[in-house]
Chains A and B, each alone.
Chain A
Amino acid sequence: DQQVKQNSPSLSVQEGRISILNCDYTNSMFDYFLWYKKYPAEGPTFLISISSIKDKNEDGRFTVFLNKSAKHLSLHIVPSQPGDSAVYFCAASAASGGSYIPTFGRGTSLIVHP
């Protein structure tokens, strides 16, 4: 049973527009969330994280929103650029509970068209 779900396997966006990648989780013990970006045949690269004590974290063009009651988080990229085309993984961990090993979603493939 998947505890972290990324229900959209792919997303296509025009350059300059906003990309919104979604992630849902089922484990209420999760309190720390991360987004990773992965290019083909490469390892994932850390993008941004958010703790459950916050509902928003922003870093440049990337913003992560957390809705704890809905067990939902999203990554917003604005403006989207062709170089953002990659697979994005959402991950969650129960950091304060001592289980600090993140569980990953299946990923969403983002394609940004020029």
Chain B
Amino acid sequence: GAVVSQHPSWVICKSGTSVKIECRSLDFQATTMFWYRQFPKQSLMLMATSNEGSKATYEQGVEKDKFLINHASLTLSTLTVTSAHPEDSSFYICSARGGTSGTDTQYFGPGTRLTVL
């Protein structure tokens, strides 16, 4: 299957700093990329959807000025957590899809564990 990578796999930062997480589709062009957040023992919460070259669409309740998403190319999307606080500590997972059909498979990255001190 298709491969999606994330970098870094884990990061610890101080409160108030910004953290950038990269998501790359390694062997296919991702028309659409998704960013999820997962709390312990909870489901994957969709944060935003991004299409290459256009602004991301954020889910209700997700602050777009805090979680900056850039989908600059068909293989790279970045999520920047600005002015991070301890409550932003979570497991962030990206996924990518090559097509726009509802039946195209999403391929997930391995996730990034963010801990804000």
User: A43 CA to B109 CA in the complex, in Å?
Assistant: 5
Interface residues of B in 36-57 (CB under 8 A from A): 41-44, 46, 49
- B95→A93 contact, CB < 8 A: no
Give A11-50 as 1s and 0s: 1 = Cβ < 8 Å from B's Cβ atoms: 0000000000000000000011010100001111110010
Q: How large is the interface on A (under 10, 10 to 19, 20 to 34, 35 or more residues)?
A: 20 to 34
Q: How many residues of B contact A (CB 8 A)?
A: 27
- A101→B110 contact, CB < 8 A: no
Given the known inter-chain contacts A43-B4, A46-B107, A107-B43, please indicate yes or no for A32 contacting B102, CB distance below 8 A: yes
Give B100-115 as 1s and 0s: 1 = Cβ < 8 Å from A's Cβ atoms: 1111111111110100
User: A105 CA to B106 CA in the complex, in Å?
Assistant: 16
User: A41 CA to B46 CA in the complex, in Å?
Assistant: 17
Closest CB of chain B to A43's CB: distance in Å? 3
Closest CB of chain A to B58's CB: distance in Å? 12
Given the known inter-chain contacts A43-B93, A101-B34, please indicate yes or no for A49 contacting B105, CB distance below 8 A: yes
Given the known inter-chain contacts A43-B110, A43-B111, please indicate yes or no for A106 contacting B103, CB distance below 8 A: no
- A100→B43 contact, CB < 8 A: no
User: A105 CA to B41 CA in the complex, in Å?
Assistant: 11
- A104→B111 contact, CB < 8 A: no
User: A104 CA to B36 CA in the complex, in Å?
Assistant: 11
With a CB–CB cut-off of 8 A, which chain A residues contact B34?
A: 101
Closest CB of chain A to B7's CB: distance in Å? 13
When C-beta atoms are compared, the residue in chain A nearest to B113 turns out to be A41
Which of A9, A42, A95, A107 contacts B102 (CB under 8 A)?
Answer: A95
The 4 closest A-B pairs by CB, nearest first: A95-B102, A100-B102, A43-B108, A106-B43
A-B residue pairs in contact (CB < 8 Å), sample of 22: A31-B102, A32-B102, A34-B105, A36-B108, A41-B110, A41-B111, A41-B113, A43-B6, A43-B109, A45-B108, A46-B106, A46-B107, A46-B108, A49-B105, A51-B103, A89-B43, A100-B100, A100-B101, A100-B103, A100-B104, A101-B46, A104-B43
